[in-house]
Structure 1
């Protein structure tokens, strides 16, 4: 089995938010944007992906498997659109997008080493609907190197 080398996110200060296109992560993105604005800090948007979670590139023919680079470009495009819809026009904060082919917990925990705050949604795209806290959020709360804000849904 080949050794997989995952990308790492390294930052120096600011607010980090994990996004995966779930409703919970989009709410976390909104809250993180407000926190970054309040702190006059850079917003670091981390999008970790795998072949299972990446959107299929629209230009890939049926029955073909997209390349890793094609998946990366599609995730970058989708994430940039999400961020643009949340930061406003003109932008309220400086946002940096970090799209990495890596498991979400590892990416967010690596980013937390240089962050002032890590913001995550209470549950992402996977898991069981009845859980109070998703596995990624739980790992972040337990192991992050900075304060963690877990965003619950609006009621």
Structure 2
């Protein structure tokens, strides 16, 4: 099963410190109340969230997250983020069509991640979120009460990454848990 979280849904939080926020109906925010499953015996990382977009960096992040989940008997949630931002004033039908295409792409990515996890005998939760990738990944980690957020390193050039920062760097700054940024080969100089 894939959970889809879009702006306006109960699971979606505005970008800020979630512990300081109030919902529109003035109820305080609280992370999910996860009961610890019996097969998750309390290793260092009990809950791991991994960002996944089927890029080489994301595949390495998934590989590391699967290793850690197996070693620590952790619950693993794989999150794909739809980040469509129209470059022009679209009509509503175009927005819905693009959202549909992005959702289908995200479902393919998550199916690939689930297949990789199944090959290793690990069950995952899959989630599609909509919004800015760095923000949504940090929010997902908070929402799932993650001990670790695992992300792949961006493929941007070193200059571009220094100028605006990568998704992984931005998410790491805002996550309420430890963050592991997976490297693929050598970092650009």
Which TM class, normalised by the smaller chain length?
A: 0.7 to 0.9
Q: 1:6 to 1:68 in 2, by over 3 A?
A: farther
Conserved in 1, the CA contact under 8 Å of 2:77 and 2:127?
Answer: yes
- TM-score, structure 1 as length reference: 0.73
Conserved in 2, the CA contact under 8 Å of 1:44 and 1:96?
Answer: yes
Q: Which residue of the partner structure matches residue 24 of structure 2?
A: none
Q: Unaligned 5+ residue runs, structure 1? A: 53-63
1:97 equivalent to 2:126? Answer yes
- TM-score, structure 2 as length reference: 0.61
Rounded to whole Å, the distance in 1 between the matches of 2:49 and 2:8 is 19
- 1:24-43 equivalences in 2 (<5 Å): 24-43=57-76
Q: 1:41 to 1:23 in 2, by over 3 A?
A: same
| Larger relative contact order (CA 8 Å, sep ≥ 6) | 1
- 1:97-116 equivalences in 2 (<5 Å): 97-113=126-142, 114-116=145-147
SS in 2 for 1:67: helix
Q: Which residue of the partner structure matches residue 152 of structure 1?
A: 183
Cα shift readout 1:22-69 (whole Å, capped 9, x = no counterpart) = 1111111111111111111111101001236xxxxxxxxxxx946356
Q: How many residues align?
A: 138
Look at both structures and tell me which one has the larger radius of gyration over its CA atoms: 2
Q: Which residue of the partner structure matches residue 7 of structure 2?
A: 5
- List, as ranges, runs of 4+ consecutive aligned residues in structure 1 with deviation greater than 6 Å: none
1:123 equivalent to 2:125? Answer no
Question: What's the Cα RMSD here?
Answer: 2.9
